[in-house]
Structure 1
Amino acid sequence: MPLHDSGFRLPRERLEERIRNLLSSQNMCVLATVGPDGPLATPVRYYPLDFAVMFTAAPRSPKLRNIAADPRVSVGIFAPLVGLASSRGAQLFGEARVLPPEHPDREPYWAAFRWENEHAERGRSLAEPPRDTLVVIEANRIVYTEHWLRREGFAARQFWKRRGN
């Protein structure tokens, strides 16, 4: 199926593989929220879990205040650029879920969250479980860009939506 006369869509399985590869090969994103003072773009270290990204945050941080007012967010993730043809990144769109330490839905996410790294960096005991506020963003929609796809006849920009959306 042509996409804006610039190429074709990747089969869903191949697109999902490329998105997962990007999410798992990077560890920094830019989180975009909106608050009373306007947009806020915050660099955040994240951990991936399928098509979700998660990170810890201080409960009183500007990003969490913005999420409390409007949980709709966008997340930008990109690989280092070594030339125009190597441009590769994704924009994730979804709603942020804030899971405080006592929230029952936290447990499945901690398996993928490498909290030991953060505890070691902060001088915390590795024997104590995490008590940080966890933010999880399950992507409902992803715009994936990879210019190398043009070499195979595919559009550089690909679109993914969660099934059921």
Structure 2
Amino acid sequence: MPVTNPWLAGPSPTARLDRDRLQERILQLFSTQNMCVLATAGPGGPLATPVRYFHLDFTLMFTAVADSPKMRNLAADPRVSIGIFAPLVGQASSRGAQVFGRARVLHPGDPDFDHHWPAYRWQSDHVERSRSLDEPPAGPLVVVPAERIVYTEHWLRREGYAPRQFWRA
């Protein structure tokens, strides 16, 4: 029987990408997707929430309503896990990242807010909601600098690399 991707058969290679190549692949994933699943834990238990994100290098960011369940959870425990993945059409296309870090809630006037805010593309939301582009949102910006990333890409097997790669800040 013909096999579409014979390199997927058998044991996975164990070779590691060098740091520069791994970082390039992770940033390419971050730049080509815009939705993630944010996992938080709080007094009410675990919560996994789909959110639209933007990134500045290895820092992911999103906005949220200040009294939302995810924001209450972040106030109780800033540790998060974020899943980002490309559309899956088969094992060969399996590509994603698990990002681990600590969320920080930034407000206008905070120097870190001023550093990250220009990379947050709020304008498309305003256009979609018929809001003025002269009035940017005033809500908090949540930033998650990646501490650790588990990157998975099964296409790497074709090049002799392990499909699961590990990155640390």
Distance apart, 1:111 and its partner CA? 1.6
Alignment match, 2:140: 133
* TM-score normalized by the length of structure 1: 0.92
Task: Report the counterpart of residue 33 of structure 1 in structure 2.
Answer: 40
Residues 94 and 152, structure 2, Cα contact 8 Å, conserved in 1: yes
Shift of 1:7: 1.7
What's the secondary structure of 2:73's corresponding residue?
A: helix
Deviation of the 1:101 alpha carbon:
3.1
CA deviation map 1:23-79 (0-9, x unaligned)? 000000000000112110000000111111111100000000000010000000000
Gaps of 5+ in 2: 1-10
Instruction: Give 2:23's aligned amino acid.
Output: E
- 1:103 Cα deviation from its structure 2 partner: 2.7
Equivalent residue number for residue 8 of structure 2: none
Looking at structure 2, the residues matched to 122 and 132 of structure 1 have their Cα atoms a distance apart, in angstroms, of: 16
Task: Kindly report which structure 2 residues correspond to 1:13-28, keeping only aligned pairs within 5 A, or say none.
Answer: 13-28=20-35
Is 1:97 aligned with 2:104?
A: yes
Structure 1 residue 122, shift from structure 2 partner: 2.7
Distance 1:34 1:43 in 2: 15
CA shift, 1:129, in A, is 2.9
Superposition pairs of residues 32-51 of structure 1, within 5 angstroms:
32-51=39-58
Q: CA deviation at 1:5?
A: 7.3
Aligned-CA RMSD value: 1.4
Question: For 2:128 and 2:115, how far apart are their aligned partners in 1?
Answer: 23
Matching of residues 1-165 of structure 1 within 5 Å: 6-162=13-169
Mark the structure with the bigger radius of gyration.
2
Tell me how many residue pairs correspond in the alignment: 159
CA contact (8 A) 2:36 2:85 kept: yes
SS in 2 for 1:155: coil
Aligned-partner SS, 2:13: coil
- Cα shift at 1:8: 0.5
* Identity level (%): 67
Secondary structure at 1:127's aligned position in 2? coil
SS at match of 2:111: coil
Work out the CA distance in 1 between the residues paired with 2:114 and 2:125.
17
- Describe the shift of the 1:89–1:115 C-alpha distance in structure 2 as closer, same or farther (beyond 3 A): same
Residue-by-residue CA offset, 1:66-109 (whole Å, 9 max, x unaligned): 00010000000000011111100000000001012343321111
